[in-house]
């Protein structure tokens, strides 16, 4: 097993272990595991909500929050936000607490996944229960971030 395969296996194991509470506490089904190239994910879904735990080689894991479109079986057409934006809104001292880009040890990778699972449980219970009122604000934050990045890019020219 090469290093990338080992890291993906560690990521998947950590995501399955630390996000297990989604099944027990919020009625999410068995997770779907996928990947493509240097990116892998573990997807948990219930009838209204999906949580996609993502990892890309060379980056820190992140968590997408999806408001599922009624009447669809998959995630097509879902409204997507992130745990990171949720933390910016609800726990500014924690928001944007990224671990940077670069190689992570298997233990550090597992620790980050565990931390994200804990933060989602503490700050995202409403979303996990299908209450998406905060998504309006998260969309505003995403747009503010996009505009700020665009402005910074233009300044750098």
What pLDDT score was predicted for residue 73? Answer: 80
Model confidence at 157, pLDDT cuts 50, 70, 90, reads low
Q: Which domain holds residue 75?
A: 3-155
pLDDT, one tens digit per residue, over 10-33 is 999 999 999 999 999 999 999 999
User: Phi, psi at residue 31, to the nearest 5°?
Assistant: -70, 155
Beta-carbon neighbour count of residue 96 at 10 Å?
11
Q: For the chain, what is the domain count? A: 1
Of 68, 69, 66, give the one whose Cα is nearest residue 80.
66
> What is the torsion angle, in degrees rounded to the nearest 10, for the CA atoms of residue 128, residue 59, residue 8 and residue 67?
20
Overall pTM > 0.75: yes
If you count them, how many residues does the chain have?
157
Question: Averaged over 128-143, what is the pLDDT?
Answer: 96
């Amino acid at each position: 097993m090469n290093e990338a395969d080992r890291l993906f296996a560690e990521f998947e194991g950590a995501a399955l272990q630390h996000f297990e509470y989604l099944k027990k506490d919020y009625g999410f089904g068995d997770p779907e595991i996928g990947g493509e190239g240097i990116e892998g994910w573990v997807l948990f879904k219930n009838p209204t909500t999906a949580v996609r735990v993502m990892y890309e080689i060379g980056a820190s894991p992140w968590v997408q929050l999806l408001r599922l479109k009624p009447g669809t079986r998959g995630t097509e057409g879902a409204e997507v936000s992130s745990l990171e934006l949720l933390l910016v809104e609800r726990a500014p001292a924690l928001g944007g607490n990224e671990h940077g880009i670069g190689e992570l040890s298997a233990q550090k990778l597992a620790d980050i996944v565990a931390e994200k699972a804990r933060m989602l449980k503490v700050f995202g219970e409403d979303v996990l229960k299908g209450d998406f009122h905060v998504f309006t604000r998260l969309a505003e934050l995403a747009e503010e971030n996009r505009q700020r990045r665009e402005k910074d890019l233009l300044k750098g020219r």
